[in-house]
Amino acid sequence: MPETDSYSPTPRTTPTRGRERASYDRALVHSILDEGYLCHLGFVRDGAPFVLPTLYARVGERLYLHGSTGQRPARAAASGGLPVCVTVTHVDGIVLAKSAFHHSMNYRSVVVHGTATPVTDPAERALGFDATVDQAVPGRAADCRPASRKESAATALLALDLAEVSAKVRTGGPNEDPADAGLPYWNGVLPVRTVYGPPLAVGDPRITGANWDTAGDAEAPAYLTAYARR
């Protein structure tokens, strides 16, 4: 079937509140996913809910979820797949109203439902590993040592198809009660943005944790000095 411009709503992707903020537009979903690299992976294991922060990458209509082979999701997915819910959220502003009740957030979010399955094909694993590196820092996968066979064996990669998907977006100012118009409280939006600083090379006294004493390269590559999220 030809790809459409929108995902099809399902009972799980139809919100019960704020339906006017929901969207199934494929381009919007992709843009929200592509701007991030950290998702929250929700699943149930042994009757208990878990939510784990997880690195991810989007390649076409598939998400790759990166983790350790010892983690619960990888172990659970190994036996036929794991039902999951993946969320990605960007906060764009804190919305301050005259009443506490009407305070809110401006945000863009995506929720994906489906079954995550282990990626075992070597070529797809290599693609997924490179994609998760480049999702965080575009261009980095070609500028570092690939994982060794031992490292690859210790790393889990799950695939989740983008089929049951929705986005939700809030923009604008506070929704005030007309009766509050005369109250003497400031109202408006406090914008939120993520700022990335200049790269710090190994040996810089402002960073810790390096397991060697030699300094890193004197000059950072251009993809780091010009780093900005899409």
16-64 pLDDT per residue, tens: 888 899 999 999 999 999 999 999 999 998 899 999 999 999 999 999 9
User: What are 33's two structure tokens?
Assistant: 């996913």
Kindly tell me the burial class for residue 54, based on how many C-beta atoms sit within 10 Å of its own C-beta (0-12, 13-18, 19 or more). Answer: buried
To the nearest whole number, what is the mean pLDDT of the chain?
A: 91
Identify which of 80, 147, 157 has the alpha carbon closest to the alpha carbon of residue 119: 157
Domain boundaries for CATH 2.30.110.10 within the chain: 11-194
How many CB atoms are closer than 10 A to CB 13?
Answer: 19
Percentage of the residues of the chain whose pLDDT score is greater than 90: 75
pTM of the model: 0.90
CA atoms in the 13 A half-sphere facing the CB of 88? 24
pLDDT at 119 over 50: yes
Q: Which CATH class is domain 11-194?
A: mainly beta
59 beta partners: 62
The model's pLDDT over 158-181, given as tens digits with 9 standing for 90+, comes to 999 999 999 999 999 999 999 999
The model's pLDDT over 77-117, given as tens digits with 9 standing for 90+, comes to 888 899 999 999 999 999 999 999 999 999 999 999 999 99
Identify which of 228, 183, 190, 2 has the alpha carbon closest to the alpha carbon of residue 91: 190
Length of the chain: 230
